[in-house]
Structure 1
Amino acid sequence: MSGAKETPRQKMIGMMYLVYTALLAMNVSKDILDAFDTVNNGVQTTNITLANQIDQKYAAFEEQYSKEPEKAGPFWEQAQALREEANDLIDYVEALKWDLVKKVECSKAETPTEAAQMALETGLLRNADTLRNGRKMYDINTSKVKSRDNYNQPTAYMMGNPEGPGNGGKAYELSEKIRRFRGEVVKAMGPAHIHEIGMITDSIYGTKEYVMEQAKVSEDKLKRLPLEGEVYGAKYNYDENSADPVQNSWEYNNFHHTVLVADVTLLNKIISEAQTAELNAVTQLMTNIHASDFTFDEIGAKVFAESGYLLSGQTYKAQAMVTAWQNAKTTATVSLDGGPMKEYTSDGQGLINLEFNCGVGSHRYNGVIKMLDPKTGELKDYTFENSFVVAPPAVSVSATKMNVVYRGINNPIAVGGGVGGEINASASSGSLTRTGNGTYNLLPGAADEVTISVTSGGSSLGSMKFRVKDLPKPTALIRNVVNGQVSKSALQAAGRVEAEMKDFDFDGVHYDVVGYTFRYKTKSGTTKEAKANSGGFTDEIRNAISQANVGDMFVFTAIQVRGNDGKTKTIETPIGVEIK
């Protein structure tokens, strides 16, 4: 029954049992038997304590299962199967223990009830069929057993017919139940804990050659057993000095020619080992619920922003959360734009700060963070990738009093800004036509104001308001007139009044003269007036010019013009001409 991690009390029990077995062939004194009584009482007390601890552990397990049914479910089902197997074994051992004592001490009783009554009256049995933590328990007072040193009847009951094993001996039934229970414990705890469980009943004893033949291992491997030779509890031993190859089984070594008090103590010890194994297995199953969870030793608040740079009109978005981290250093290897891998180290709070110096344009990076898997103990890769865009530096400077556009003409509009997305612009009135990448023509409507709104990727990047005005009036002029003087021939050659936009930067702006009044005064003092319905000289005006003398004055006034906007305007400033 060795192999498990034992408490000091359990070690003492095992030692006492070995001492007693060594003295069986001698005339064992009453003191030795009394010592077994003391050990047995201690084991029974330990069993009560273990039963309470197991009950508390299952209660805690059930509460965990109610909180996390999906995660804890598979382990809870294993625990239920384990508990069923443990109950079956312990109930069997308790009944076996009472049956053994009853056959020796209460042989005159005709019924089980009569035997129990007899044992209760004599103090041999402190209770009968008591349930403790759902399990039946027979509390036997071995100090009241009269035949404590009887070994004939216990041997016959436990070993059966001495001519062959397995012929009705209860030890063989017990061994099989222990093997089945141990297998359930191994399933719960896992192969890594197989050597901690103990309760091995399928050992092979004999000479080296016999054990090697049965275990089918070499002599070299045999020396490393049971670490390499244990399969669901199989344990191989050999005796260098033994010449007898006959197998001594677990049943034989524990129950052949052992006295009653030793058998009772051993059976209670088996219960103790079974409860210890059950408690360890249930504890392991509870641990397995979160075996793959990461553990952290620090907790704090962190803010993760979508962007630290916004354009006017965009909404700042961030996530604030309480997070946990390990103080242990974590490393990451990162490649930028397919370049060589570079190693980064965390700042001690689980954050790995990445820094890139890149040119204008789109960039992509990818990397791997390595962390220790809490379940396997091996490094596990966690990959990531992301991208970003670098925009050139941009600044906007504008004259706030010059935000003017003009009706009747296409006003060129340039829209810049935004990163990583198409720019779209729209006008609140009139029409806005795209002419190129970020360039538009605005043809205002009748409103006195127009607003240009800009969006990118569905987000507003801002807007700009413009005042809408009529085109300014042009300047009226006649070709060839210099400083108000012109010759008759030069004036005749000019032939018309024109309108010109001076110092106006808009292309395509044009005014036509649609009428004016012509006045002149002769030397005799006579004043004459003529009307024109276009910019050209009429016959009357041409005739007046041809008859003019040096010094005569001509005035072109009330000049009317019509521009691109279709509106007729009057130029208030007249043109005065003196014939030279």
Structure 2
Amino acid sequence: MALPKDPRQKMINIMYLVLTSMLALNVSAEILNAFTIVNNSIDNSNVSITGKNNNAYAAFVKQMADDPEKVGPLKAKADAVKAEAKTAYDQLEALKDQIAKETGGYETEASGEKTLKEKGNLDVATRIMENQKKGPELQAMLKKFRTSLLSSVDPKDRATFDKALPLQIQDSYKGEDGKAKTWTTYHFNMVPAVAAFTILSKLQNDVKNSESMVVEDLLKQIHANDIVFDKMQAFVSMNSKNLQEGQTLTAQIAIGAYSTTVSPEIVVNGQTLKVENGLATYTLPVSGLGDKTLTGTIKLKKPNGEIVESAINEPYTVGASATSISADKMNVLYIGVQNPISITAAGVPAEKVAASITGGSIAKQAAGKFLVTCSQPGKANIVVSADGKNLSSKEFRVKFIPDPVLKVGMNKSGYMKASEFKVQGGLRADLENFEFEGVKYDVVGYRIGIDAKGRDYAEGDANSAYFPSSIQASVRSLKPGDQVYFDNVKVKGPDGRVRDMGNISFKLN
């Protein structure tokens, strides 16, 4: 811009240029300060991840004490990952120190945060990373570290980890002019010192997070092939189930655990049984008095394909017995469902056995099989009769069906991945570990609130399980760090009651 000859106008123009330059410097300073804020946040995150990783390594030490043969090879891999991650982290830290040194070192701002003295220096990063070839060396080291991490992962999971690892190192990038740029040029050429410093801190964060993913996977592999026995039941083995007066009853009693998620193959007396929720039921119309034996096998496949087999050899006695009234599911009758009951009476043909109940209704389905329906909690008494004569009675407890568990997808309240939450359609109410099949709860209403970072709090009311339309856009915009609240959740079960389930919340990660 040509300056005018008039002295007064010259002064005005010069002052304008000075003010414009000062404004530009002010904006630049704000941007550089923003890099400092981001870098300090990354440093805090790295401290947190280090603590998490240390807990994982401590878990390896504890597991090693319990089962060194099984844990040893996995712990060796974890120790190697730890050492390589430290080497990578320290090399990045050394580059940060070199940048700090060549820009005059550090200074402490009014806020107490440590920052570079010459944050805006444009020469140091280029000189160190490009001219001194530190950038290509760093790139090669990080690629080698990443390959080593993937070699520690189970081969069948390697492709998934390859995509998921935070540490991703590309060979080249396309610049704004459309031309290819090297990894070093793209990240460090003519960038302010504080920006290069922050990029190196971010790479340290990627190293820590990648280390965490692999070490946690190795820790899970310790029990990857273990069968989880998630339900327990009392088992009683008696010396005889048909005793006479004066004899001694001997019973061996233990608590037995079984898995509801892994179904074994059970064969009894040559018959393969149907297994549901980890349990199988064998029925046999017995005949002929005397001692008998149930024989067979139980085979269970472990996650790695190994077969575990156990023999069945259970003696029993056939003889005269007393009247038996038993709930096929348990010694409890539930409101809202048909409760199956088995009734037998010694010396009486099954087709002649009748039953009545107080506190409900009972219907005969087949010989010895009945269905009981109850409507009020408390107690119900079943009376067995034959040919008009009362034979026996038994009292049962009557309860409402248990409350369900609220879920989004397969997740209960707590932490959940944001990407997984966004693809769900609404709130579920699942009845877990209940003996009856096909019993379902319907979500009839709730209030949902979304607390998303950087956005206004969003909320809406639903009159079904599905997310209300007014909140759909907010659900699709969810990101890690956001929180979702469900309040005043109401569900309706097969007994017709609308239940208040209270509140749950999810922290997205």
TM-score by structure 1 length? 0.42
Structure with a larger share of its residues in strand: 2
TM-score by structure 2 length? 0.47
Higher relative contact order, structure no. (Cα contacts within 8 Å, ≥ 6 residues apart): 1
| Larger gyration radius, structure 1 or structure 2 | 1
